[in-house]
Amino acid sequence: MAVTLEQAQKVGYTCLKALLRFAFMVANNLVAIPSYVLYLIVLQPLRILDSKSFWYIEGVLFKWLLAMVASWGWWAGYTVVEWGDDVKAVSEDEAMVLVNHQATGDVCTLMMCLQDKGTVVRQMMWLMDHIFKYTNFGIVSLIHGDFFIRQGRTHRDQQLVLLKDHLEKYYRSRNRKWIVLFPEGGFLRKRRETSQAFAKKNNLPFLKHVTLPRLGATQVILKTLVAPQENGTPSGGDAVRKESKSKGLQWVIDTTIAYPKGEPIDIQTWILGYRQPAVTHVHYRIFPVKDVPAEPEALTNWLYQRFIEKEDLLTHFYETGAFPPPRGQTKAISREMTLSNLWLVAIQSFAFLSGGMWYCLFQYLYHCLF
C-alpha cells in the first residue's frame, strides 16, 4: 500500500519529536544526576553535624529529580486520573503502598501522581528489581536508600534477610514514611502464565489482569515497621484521619494502575513520546494496618484477596472505562491529577543551571591546579 505524503510527514514529525525528546532527556540526566550527587558530597559535613537536615535536603532534591521524570510524560500528554480514597489524608503518616505491575511505566506513573501528595515523594522508599541499580537512576536510588531486590527462588531467603536489615538501618534513620513495592514480583506479561498455573493447582481464582502476589517482602515490612501494639490488635482510628500520629506503619494503601485498553506505557514511550496522549487511571484503597493479619497464612489470604479485588476493579474498568463506586455508594468520583508547568520549568532550569555551575567550578579548579 502506497504511503501518502501526509502519512510520511506524520511519521517524520513523530520521529523528529522522539529524537528531540531523547536528546533533552539525555541532557537532563547528564546535568541533574551528577548535580544531585555533587550537592550531597559537598553537604557531607552537614550529614555529620545535623543528619536530619541533610536528609531533608536530600529528599527535596530527590523529589525534584522524580518531578523531572514526571515532566517527560506530562509534556507528552500522559496524564493521570485518580479514583477511590484520597491518600493526601494520610500523606504525613507511615504507609505501605502495594501496586500491581504491568510495565516499566508504572514507576513513572507513580513518580507523577505522588508529586502533589505533600512530603510523600521525598520521604518514600522504593523496593525495585536489582536490575534498576545499573540504570542511570541507580546511583540516585542507592544514595536515597531504596532497596534493590533479586528475584528468583535461589535468592529469596537471603533477600528477605537483607531487606529486614536494610529497613532497620535506613528507614527510620532517614525519616522515611512511605514504602512502595510491587508484590507480584515482576511484570504481568512475564508472570501471568505461571501464576495461572499455580492458581489452578491450588484451587485459587483465575486472574487475567493481575497475578497472585508473593508474601515475602510484604511480611518482612509489616514485621519490621509495624509497632508491636498495632500488629493484629485494635489501635483505633479511621483510614482518613489525618490527625493519627501513632508510631510505626499505620496504613496499607492498595494501589491499582489501569491503562486505556489495557495497553501499558513503558519507559521508552514515556521518554520518546511517540504514543498518542493517554490518561492512566490510578485507584487507591486505604486499610488501617490494624486490620491486616500478622500470621503468614492469614496474611497470604488477605493479600490474595487484595489482588482478586484488583482483578475485579480492572475488569470493570476495561469494560466501562471507569472504576466502580465504593461499596455503599452509587457513584464513583474521579480526580484529575495536575502538575504546574511553571514549577516543572523552574526545576528543569535549576538542574541545567546547577550543571553549568559545576562545570564552571571544575574548569576553574582545573586551571588553578594545572
Q: What are 146-156's pLDDT values in tens digits? A: 999 887 777 77
CATH of domain 78-227+247-344: 3.40.1130
Question: What gap in Å lies between CA 331 and CA 160, rounded to an integer?
Answer: 41
- 292: CB partners within 8 A, 6+ apart: 222, 252, 299, 302
Nearest alpha carbon to residue 137 among 2, 28, 8, 274: 28
Report which of residues 129 and 175 the model is more confident about. 175
* φ and ψ of 351, to 5 deg: -60, -45
Cβ burial, residue 310 (10 Å; 0-12/13-18/19+): buried
Is it the case that residue 237 has pLDDT exceeding 60? no
Question: Which residue do the cell numbers 534477610 mark?
Answer: 161
Are 250 and 95 spatial neighbours (Cβ–Cβ below 8 Å)?
A: yes
Q: Which helix (H) or strand (E) holds 285?
A: strand 278-288
* φ and ψ of 216, to 5 deg: -45, -60
Question: What gap in Å lies between CA 313 and CA 301, rounded to an integer?
Answer: 18
pLDDT reported for residue 1: 54
Please write the tens of the pLDDT for every residue from 63-103.
Answer: 999 999 999 999 999 999 999 999 999 999 999 999 999 99
Please write the tens of the pLDDT for every residue from 263-322.
Answer: 999 989 999 998 999 999 999 999 999 999 989 999 999 999 999 999 999 999 999 999
pLDDT band of residue 184 (cuts 50, 70, 90) is very high
